[in-house]
Structure 1
């Protein structure tokens, strides 16, 4: 029981940290999305340290905080079905799926280099899954809204999938790259158990 309370407390603090970091924006895209100060990293870390169930649960809680602070974006969607789709594909799924990053550690890497590879590949998986969700949302929901509102010029130049890819990669590419670069350092500094037992 004490262990679960400790894990729950740690996860709560890390979700809070992710939420705070999400406000530290290096760049903010005009129609939603931003390059942040490693806001995805704490949730991904949870999945490595405590497993993907804790990671998914923490990711879901994080998604709720993002919905609460991102309602001004949802307000642009004109239909009820579109709002539901936006909440699912722009918030619930992408941020919850960050908790799957730790799945690569289930392969139990034994060499130091493979541990780093597992962490980097798991982080890449989490970021890619988030990108895929935003890609679907951009093509299915936001393309027509942007086109109708004439909010930018290049929406008229490309198909909906190309448009969504370009828009989402513009912020999630740099954001994901920063997280990937920081992930090996995080493992060492945060003293993830599987790493510590083998190499300290």
Structure 2
């Protein structure tokens, strides 16, 4: 029964004894879309404050996800075994947490993770899928905890990126160990591989956020979000 359910939502592709990947079927893609819609419904219900639905917040969140998707689809560099350096895609998700708090930020990150899974699925096991997609990107929303501190966006961005990084390191070590070169421990390989695409983008983003003109522009954006 369980296998029939899996086959209904995903197509199994066996490449070797240690490489069995799953690709969402049409039903699987529909399920992912339903999950994303459900996340937005939850965001409307639980993060609107005194309002039942904060339309501005939902609009900003949808815009951030759209920009994150677009910038991830045209990366600066795409690595052979997954992962890419993008045009600041992580920043757009982090920004929602900074503007609207951790609940909205984490839910936006989770929604983006499921959309990323829909567009570029790499699935070996359910735990790996959750860690590499909704959980990893959900960490980016933790910027909300630093919204009121000095340089809060930069601090929150660093924490969020590190959370995403360690999620990928864990899955790389446990589920993608077969790609480690001979003689290199999978954990060491995963640390280096994931750092090679996450940290260059993170460093470029932090340098951009440190520019006074950018900081002033983001303060104006934040002011717009709190206006009635």
Alpha carbons of structure 1 residues 55 and 187: separation in structure 2 relative to 1, 3 Å: farther
For structure 2, the residue ranges without an aligned partner over 5 or more in a row are 1-50
1:85 Cα shift?
2.1
Count the aligned residue pairs: 173
Q: Does 1:93 align with 2:127?
A: no
2:216 equivalent in structure 1: 188
Contact 1:34 1:175 (8 Å CA) reproduced: no
1:44 equivalent in structure 2: 94
1:3 Cα shift?
6.6
Aligned pairs for 1:139-154 (under 5 A) are 139-144=173-178, 146=179
Contact 2:143 2:159 (8 Å CA) reproduced: yes
The counterpart of 1:126, out of the listed 160, 163, 170, is: 160
2:64 equivalent in structure 1: 14
| CA RMSD, Structure 1 to Structure 2 (Å) | 2.3
What SS does structure 2 have at the residue aligned with 1:32? coil
Per-residue CA deviation, residues 42-84 of structure 1 (Å, 9 max, x unaligned), is 110001111111101111110011100112x32xx3xxxxx21
Alpha carbons of structure 1 residues 46 and 187: separation in structure 2 relative to 1, 3 Å: farther
1:150 equivalent in structure 2: none
1:170 Cα shift?
1.0
Which has a greater percent of helix? 1
Aligned pairs for 1:37-186 (under 5 A) are 37-71=87-121, 73-74=122-123, 77=124, 83-105=125-147, 108-109=148-149, 115-116=150-151, 118-144=152-178, 146=179, 155-185=181-211, 186=214
Contact 2:95 2:153 (8 Å CA) reproduced: no
